[in-house]
Amino acid sequence: MHTRLLLAAALAALALPAAATAQAVQARDSSYTRGDRTIYHQHAPSETEWGYAQAIVVGNTIYVSGTVSGGRTMEEEITNIYRRIERTLRVNGFTMQDVVKETAYAKDIEALAAANPARLRAYAGHTPAATWVQITRLLAEGATVEIEVTAVRAPRP
């Protein structure tokens, strides 16, 4: 069992300034291998309550669960979400440039579209396939958007 210790509280419910986020993001992250899969947990309360992993790596592909975060505006919320996604990708050997598919679920599709500059900054010129869906509610109380991604990296020699 491979364990990484970083210090992070449940960002799913918090909207922290960037400096505070960098410090608070370190928590009891862990990953372990089961057969051909690496299962990655950030140990957010929702992972335990709802029984899911933050991400699963199979071969050269990572599947990142729907990710939420807090924020005063949709753009801030999206920026925080992409920071969490980037962190999940990075600790598992992937980058935002490896993302091939993104799905965003938003309570207000116009607000999501208006906040697209935050998305463009996160991908820095990379353009994955994407689907945006308006929904009436998300499982995470208070969340207005949830984003999941799939990334594929080049095979390692």
DSSP letters of 15-51? ---HHHHHHHEE---EEEEETTEEEEE---HHHHHHT
Q: Is 87 helix (H, G, I), strand (E, B) or coil?
A: helix
Q: Does some domain include residue 157?
A: no
Q: Is residue 131 part of a domain?
A: yes
CATH of the domain at 96: 3.30.1330.40
Cα separation, 35 vs 40, whole angstroms: 14
Q: Tell me the pTM.
A: 0.80
Q: What pLDDT score does 27 carry? A: 53
Give me the number of domains the chain comprises: 1
The pLDDT score that the predictor gives to residue 1 is: 28
Q: Which pLDDT band holds residue 75 (cuts at 50, 70, 90)? A: very high
For the ranges 20-29, 40-49, 125-134, the lowest mean pLDDT is seen at 20-29
Q: Which domain holds residue 130?
A: 2-152
Q: Is residue 66 part of a domain?
A: yes
123-136 average pLDDT score: 96
Distance between start and end Cα atoms, the chain:
24
Label residue 44 by pLDDT band (50, 70, 90): confident
